[in-house]
Structure 1
Amino acid sequence: MKFSPLRLLANTLFFLQMSDASQRVRETNQSVTSDFTLTGLFNHSGPHLALFSLVATIFTMGLLGNAVLIFLIYTDARLHTPMYFLLSQLSLLDVGFPLVTIPKMAADFLQEEGAISFGGCAAQMFFLMLIGVSEGVLLSLMSYDRYVAVCHPLHYPVLMRHQVCLLMVGTSWLSGVLVASIQTSITLHFPYCASHTVDHFFCELPALLKLSCADTSAYELALSISGVLILLLPLSLVATSYSHVLGAVLHMHSAEARHKAFTTCSSHITVVGLFYGAAVFMYMVPGTYHTPQQDNVVSLFYSLITPMLNPLIYSLRNREVQMALVKILFRTGFRSKR
């Protein structure tokens, strides 16, 4: 058989293509089948054991506080209003946030390991993004509720009827599902063929992107742009609503009415500030401007501290919630005596 340079060249190209394809398959299989390792927050030294106990205490307080608030809202007829219905949904999201991250972190600490499967990592990332986006949208819609209550009190029963409240809640959850589905699927599409050690205590999108062996710069730019839209659009609604609320409150003649409006609105503004402050730092500030240690602190703040503070902020500054709690405690005490 005659020697053919063209045949040799064709065979060489064929083998190169096959080798490249098999390499891509190996990288993809590795990214799908390999576990990740979470670095965690604590080691087993004395100070870290104390910090772990503090985190466990805050976690328990947050779950109990939000569960009690949900229970009060659904059992006390005086709290069956649009504002408290939306607040119950906020508490429901605040129950989910720490449940996605803290039990896994605690189990890793107690078992002295940090392995998490690819599927488990994907689930963590999806649910955290779902809850985070849903909470951001819900907080902005709650500001509209306060705007209607203060600026258009006579039209409040119509503008904030039950169907509208259900639409608000549905919009917040649907937004979370949509964004989480898109962002998670894109992130998991990248090959993770290098290090599988996530420098974080849970699988969060920015931390995971750092491990990809593909060029993610274009996606990170798109993520920053989408983060601006996802965060700034709700914040603009909050700012617009409360600028109108502030103007209406300053024109009120009754000191008692001004105090009540300031109390309810300042509670919501405090929650918005805590949530969006941490979210802006994580998703709008480029990753080169903050360290993994700072990411851990900020993530712990919005996934643990903020959910614990929200029920305290609303219950301690809200007379209706306080009265509902006293009523339940009185009933419980009366029944136990009988």
Structure 2
Amino acid sequence: MEAINKTLRIQFFFRPFSTHPEVQVVIFVAFLLMYLTSLCGNATIIGIVQVNHSLHTPMYFFLANLAVLEIFYSTSIAPLTLANLLSMGKTSVSIPGCGTQMFFFVFLGGADSILLAFMAYDRFIAICYPLRYTLIMSWPLCVGMVAGSLMLGFLLSLPLTILIFHLPFCNDNEIYHFYCDMPAVMRLACADTHVHETALHIISFIVLSIPLSLISISYVFIVAAILRIQSTEGRHRAFSTCSSHIIVVLLQYGFTSFIYLSPRSSYSPEMGRLVSVVYTFITPILNPLIYSMRNKELKDALRKTLRISR
């Protein structure tokens, strides 16, 4: 009991990006702008889908829910990161606080990855079975898919977070990161972490590899169906509805797989921190930009909304 109480009293600190205050301020401004841009971009997607009845379809329902997840996902990381940048690494976080951040990061990131797989299934049905699309992609099924992605994300994140924070933490309390990332936190434990690393790799495999495999299978059938379309315009239109999703999938799965599916022997704290900037701050900006730039219906709805607001 005394050891547990001692562990709970530990305060973690995050290593600053630089020892120079001027550099920290520049990084703070960059991170703040990225965070605000991601909030505005994803909120715009949600608002456009909400007010335009022509976008009340399964595809845009999933897109709006993806934008909601991105907002909460960014918010689980950004405030503490920004506070730490301003304080030159002097902002502390308790073990319960660190565990809470880790839980929501894994929960929302896992739900995001699973939802991308459901979005690939939606495109598969739309292109391969267009006449049965409205029958198969019913609203109860769509709502169930979103709820299922949240439930799976919750069930995967809770046991892993509990497992990691049952580790004893001793004197070293500086996390070589800008948030409570699992590999970085486990490096501070003063106990054997092989079981925890195995659990992390298993859950990462479930969250990343299985949905990515399902997405890949869906797109094999989608590409085959598109190639059977006779008209060039028809092929272009079918591909344009999928291209945005493909780009987002590559960004989301590529960088997170680099961190969570790599063996510990090849894990570099510095590289892990740099790569994490991409999927915590940059990707949430790119997602709404990619969908809005490559989706004609969304661009038309945005122009219509802007004209009405004037």
TM-score bin (small chain): over 0.9
Question: Which TM-score applies when normalising by structure 1?
Answer: 0.88
Pairs within 5 Å for 1:64-103? 64-103=40-79
Following superposition, the deviation at residue 313 of structure 1 comes to: 0.3
The corresponding residue for 1:268 is 245
The corresponding residue for 2:280 is 303
Please tell me whether Structure 1 or Structure 2 has the larger radius of gyration of its CA atoms. 1
**Of 107, 127, 132, which aligns to 1:150?**
127
The corresponding residue for 1:131 is 108
The corresponding residue for 2:11 is 35
- SS of 1:263 mapped into structure 2: helix
The corresponding residue for 1:120 is 97
Whole-Å separation in 1 of the counterparts to 2:257 and 2:87: 34
Following superposition, the deviation at residue 164 of structure 1 comes to: 0.6
Following superposition, the deviation at residue 219 of structure 1 comes to: 2.2
Q: Match of 2:207, as an amino acid?
A: I
Task: Give ranges in structure 2 of 5+ residues lacking alignment.
Answer: none
Describe the superposition over 1:221-280 as per-residue Cα deviations: whole angstroms up to 9, x where unpaired: 232133223211101110110000000001101222211111121110100000001111
Following superposition, the deviation at residue 31 of structure 1 comes to: 1.2
Following superposition, the deviation at residue 102 of structure 1 comes to: 1.4
Pairs within 5 Å for 1:236-315? 236-315=213-292
The corresponding residue for 1:325 is 302
Following superposition, the deviation at residue 48 of structure 1 comes to: 4.1
- SS of 1:36 mapped into structure 2: strand
Whole-Å separation in 1 of the counterparts to 2:54 and 2:73: 28
The corresponding residue for 1:52 is 28
- SS of 1:189 mapped into structure 2: coil
Whole-Å separation in 1 of the counterparts to 2:17 and 2:179: 10
Determine if contact 1:199/1:207 at 8 Å carries over to the other structure. Answer: yes
Following superposition, the deviation at residue 28 of structure 1 comes to: 1.7
Number of equivalenced pairs: 309
Whole-Å separation in 2 of the counterparts to 1:304 and 1:167: 29
The corresponding residue for 1:173 is 150
Runs of 4+ that moved beyond 6 A: none
Whole-Å separation in 1 of the counterparts to 2:241 and 2:180: 35
